[in-house]
Amino acid sequence: MIPNQDQFREWFNVEIGRTPKEELKSEKNFFEIYDMFVNEESINSQWNFRTLQKMKTQKKVLEEFDHDISFEKFNEQYLSNYQRYLEGKNHKNSTISKELAALKWFLKWAMKKGYTKSGEFEKFKPKIKNVQKKIIFLNKSELKRFTEYEIPTDKSYLEKIRDVFLFQCFTGLRYSDVFNLKRSDVKDGYLEITTLKTADNLIIELNSYSRKLLNKYIDVEFEHNKALPVISNQKMNDYLKELAELAEIDELVTQTYFKGNERIEEVLPKYSLMSTHAGRRTFVCNALSLGIPPQVVMKWTGHSDYKAMKPYIDIADEIKATAMEKFDSF
């Protein structure tokens, strides 16, 4: 009796010691498994749109690098070639480090799920030169100038941008959490939210500045019962740069980074580096410089350890040292 296709497959799997589950996995190619990873982890880890786009972009880069890519190829030399390929695309070292970390995340996931048994990729530990990214924030005098700047009539659209940004400066909220802030999150004297990025439950007391900004829009109806007039992150970043330039937030800032072994320095006016995240950083830096203990600030921001706070603490120490010099001319 001649076996049919299913019977032959069952016999073949027994002969080579492969279970039907392993057979099913072996039939999927690298990029199909990558899509499964993105679909599963985007739900489990609650990725935001930006993270999802980054992972989809990485898939395109991998396809360009090697259309016939497979798990078996991922040894030290292959990953080294991939690193050189990314360098050839003129990426900064910080970007390459993130790309490689994301790729290793996927490979570990695939190994855990049984799609590959090779752990050769874990031996690849390149020494990539990086520097701590400079924290962009508004110091006390810049924040005052930004707040008091009289917006021209023909640029009235910038008023709401400033209000939302200042709310970040006085609460420490991320853009995503301000965007998602509902009137129901505003309690009697404090905010009670669950952050989108980390799912932390935070209680943030209101001060006179944040309370005033909320009251300004208390009678204005926004879609989805939102508390503030928040627009898209990209547009807000563009408008923030425009507003900061008008308000003369133009201190020169040196940005240092590496491309391969080449150290590059760019000197740029601060307004060109402004983004919504500068609001949260402004809150943290000014709170620490005012002498508020780091553990209290961490309760407001949701930072889980001092490692993440250290760059801010260093900045606060610099501000304190500069302030002490004022006694020299007392």
In the predicted model, is pLDDT for residue 146 greater than 90?
Answer: yes
pLDDT given at position 324: 66
Rounded Cα–Cα distance for residues 235 and 243 (Å): 12
Identify whether the C-beta of residue 300 lies closer than 8 Å to the C-beta of residue 270: no
Rounded Cα–Cα distance for residues 31 and 110 (Å): 11
pLDDT digits (tens, 9 = 90+) for 24-40: 455 689 999 999 999 99
Rounded Cα–Cα distance for residues 85 and 42 (Å): 27
Instruction: Identify the structural domains of the chain with CATH numbers, from first to last.
Output: 5-123 (1.10.150), 140-329 (1.10.443.10)
Rounded Cα–Cα distance for residues 24 and 3 (Å): 20
The candidate with the shortest Cα–Cα distance to 281, out of 319, 311, 252, 240, is 311
Q: How confident is the model at residue 317 (pLDDT cuts 50, 70, 90)?
A: confident
Q: How confident is the model at residue 314 (pLDDT cuts 50, 70, 90)?
A: confident
Rounded Cα–Cα distance for residues 49 and 58 (Å): 14
Polymer length in residues for the chain: 330
Instruction: Kindly report each contact of residues 251-256 with a partner whose C-beta sits within 8 Å and lies 24 or more positions away, as own/partner.
Output: 251/142, 253/134, 253/136, 254/134, 255/134, 256/131, 256/134
In the predicted model, is pLDDT for residue 254 greater than 80?
Answer: yes
C-alpha 115, offset from chain centre = 29
The single-letter DSSP state of residue 221 is -
Instruction: Please report, for the chain, how many H helices and E strands are present, in that order.
Output: 14, 4
- Retrieve residue 54's tokens: 């980054």
Cβ neighbours of residue 225 closer than 8 Å, sequence gap 6 or more: 182, 183, 184
Predicted TM-score (pTM) of this structure: 0.78
